[in-house]
Structure 1
Amino acid sequence: MDFWITGEGVTQAASLASYTAIHFPRQLSRVRLKRIPFWGKGILQQGGAIQDKPRGPGHYWVEIDHNDPNTKESYGWYPAADITGMESKKDQLSAMWDVEGCINGDSKARRAADKKSQENKKKYELLAGRGIGHQPYPYDPNHGNPDARSVQPLYLGLTDQRAETAVIDEIRAFAAAYKDQSGGRWSYRLDSFGENNCHTFIWRLLHDCQLIDLELLNADIDPHFDKLRGLVLKEAAKGAVFGGPGVIVATTTSTARRLIKPDYVDQLVAHTTMTRDELKRRNWL
């Protein structure tokens, strides 16, 4: 049965809006998911290099708009160590495998690295943002970065009538609790499900806060998404350089990439597919 707001004084537009709020996916106006992938699809092919001008290992984060360019609020998950500043390549690779993590890169090591090279740092090359408890809001060091390759609005699913302010409060609560819930570690493990980094932070946020990213399965944006679709990356990233010349991230199609998927992965895929199908059916996409 369809439920409409009707009655004396209720316009047709208001009635239609009430139906839409219940039966259609609703786009959030203040929340944006942003991505700077480390590499693009077809890395071994022409035009598929890491980035035209490599600036780092890439990043995913979520931003909340306050309609004020001077007010920043955003959340992402980082290694607490200044990995690229380590002199030993062995230490760099070891840290990539497992190191302490922190919200928004707000650690003593990353702040110190920023301070040490403050004169040479550009606005979006800072290592440390500000973490939980910062006033007025925490913010990711990449907040507003124009190099974001993908900027996506997030959606609420069918029948989800939460107010956007309530959703934003849930995002804040998720970020505040993430260090404890995740064990406080950051890791990159050749795209296996056993890792815990900015990708998995965002995927857990989408799941726990019941949000939908329509581009979640688009491997043209970032080949990490092939993992969510149950696919193993077929192209070895043997040409990918991390942290400067001499450090090669050699990845192979191996069992390490095919660890058992967490339950949240299938739920994210299902919600994304269902929402895209519904929007296409209504010619909203």
Structure 2
Amino acid sequence: MNNWENFSTTVTGTTVPYNPNDQSHAITSVQAGFKKLEWLRICRIPLSLFSSEGAFPGHYWIEIINSDENNIDAHIQKARSANQTEKEIIKLGNVQSANGFRESYGWYPINSFAISIRPKLSYINLQLRGQLVYPAVQIKKEGIVNGASDSRIKKDANNYRDHTTDRKAGRNTMNNNLSKYAFDPDQYLRFSEEKINIVSNPYLPPEDNRTKEEIIQQIRNFASTFHSKHSAFWSWNNDGYDEVNCHTFLFLLLGEVGLADPIIANDQDKHFRCYFNDINCFFNLILASKAIEARRKILTNLKNLSLRLVNKN
């Protein structure tokens, strides 16, 4: 028995929120029968140095909207009203509620400093760019889900922090010292929605009868095993085949969990386009490791599933 009775199977879905003058939040028409998951949000701030189409360094993450996310423990609320620091609030313990934090997941470097930079060759699409390799710089550091490292947590400790404020560290486990939910540091941006360039909802295909609870658990499982299953490092290589950053994390999550993405379907994600092209070119040169081969398969499945949203065949 599934629980989709309350979800629309109509052919039109909108990203959230919809502003007709903002093309990053455009209407997307999808094939009938696909189920829009209103309780899941894909959030994208593309990397951009000078354009309003993104920000530096940007970030991608996914949010799960739980019905109790706005519940706040009385002693936490009292401490916030007294403007206590995060360290002081953590000492109170006895966390029972979400405390306003929205469950969410993203991939971060373990800290924002001491990142190693080294020359790197990246394989690119021969037909599109007319050359085999180009020199690039790979930025690489140990990675962690939701930036929940001791060094990042320490940077928040002596400041006032709550679910509405910017922070360096989220939490990567359920029932942590701030919330019953794991959360990405950037979940606070839902209170400044205009700063998120692209917000959309994923879809399930007509034949997929998984329940909401099953999908949520699969997302949690993906996040908790990403470090051991996919990569222990965060890296950036200009959308190169071997990078593993917040973009890669989101793409692999959607592909592995089996969620169709309307942004990918409509070719609106430049990072996915370049990364997928690069990983295919590298694979075609018969140089791919098993890890790259597995990643390519997941991303191919994601693209094919997403294209079904807009293709009639």
Residue 61 of structure 1 is matched in structure 2 by 61
| CA deviation after TM superposition for structure 1 residue 226, in Å | 2.2
Does 1:82 pair with 2:112?
A: yes
Deviations 1:197-249 (A, max 9, x none): 101101111111111111115454x421322563x7xxxxxxxxxxxxxxxxx
Name segments (4+ residues, structure 1) moved above 6 Å: 119-122
- CA distance in 2 between counterparts of 1:156 and 1:52 reads 28
| CA deviation after TM superposition for structure 1 residue 29, in Å | 2.2
The CA RMSD measured in Å over matched residues stands at 3.4
- CA distance in 2 between counterparts of 1:156 and 1:100 reads 33
Residue 139 of structure 2 is matched in structure 1 by 97
| C-alpha distance 53-211 of structure 1, shift in aligned 2 (>3 A) | closer
Superposition pairs of residues 220-239 of structure 1, within 5 angstroms: 220=268, 222-227=269-274, 230=277
Aligned equivalent of 1:139, options 183, 186, 210: 183
- CA distance in 2 between counterparts of 1:259 and 1:28 reads 34
| C-alpha distance 35-169 of structure 1, shift in aligned 2 (>3 A) | same
Residue 73 of structure 1 is matched in structure 2 by 103
- CA distance in 2 between counterparts of 1:93 and 1:63 reads 31
Deviations 1:58-91 (A, max 9, x none): 10000010134324210001000223xx5xxxx5
- CA distance in 2 between counterparts of 1:125 and 1:119 reads 10
Kept after mapping to 1: 8 A contact 2:43/2:196: yes
| CA deviation after TM superposition for structure 1 residue 136, in Å | 0.7
The aligned amino acid for 1:196 is V
Kept after mapping to 1: 8 A contact 2:265/2:309: no
Superposition pairs of residues 14-25 of structure 1, within 5 angstroms: 24-25=33-34
| C-alpha distance 213-160 of structure 1, shift in aligned 2 (>3 A) | same
- CA distance in 1 between counterparts of 2:237 and 2:256 reads 23
Aligned residues: 221
Q: Runs of 5+ in structure 1 lacking a partner? A: 1-13, 44-48, 233-255
| C-alpha distance 99-92 of structure 1, shift in aligned 2 (>3 A) | closer
Aligned equivalent of 1:166, options 178, 198, 214: 214
Residue 300 of structure 2 is matched in structure 1 by 266
Output the TM-score relative to the length of structure 2: 0.62
| C-alpha distance 194-151 of structure 1, shift in aligned 2 (>3 A) | same
Identity within the alignment, %: 27
| CA deviation after TM superposition for structure 1 residue 189, in Å | 1.2
Residue 276 of structure 1 is matched in structure 2 by 310
Residue 129 of structure 1 is matched in structure 2 by 170
The aligned amino acid for 1:208 is E
Matched residue SS, 1:61: strand
Kept after mapping to 1: 8 A contact 2:105/2:223: yes
Residue 156 of structure 2 is matched in structure 1 by 114
Deviations 1:170-212 (A, max 9, x none): 1111111111112311100121121111011011111111111
Structure (1 or 2) with the greater strand fraction: 2
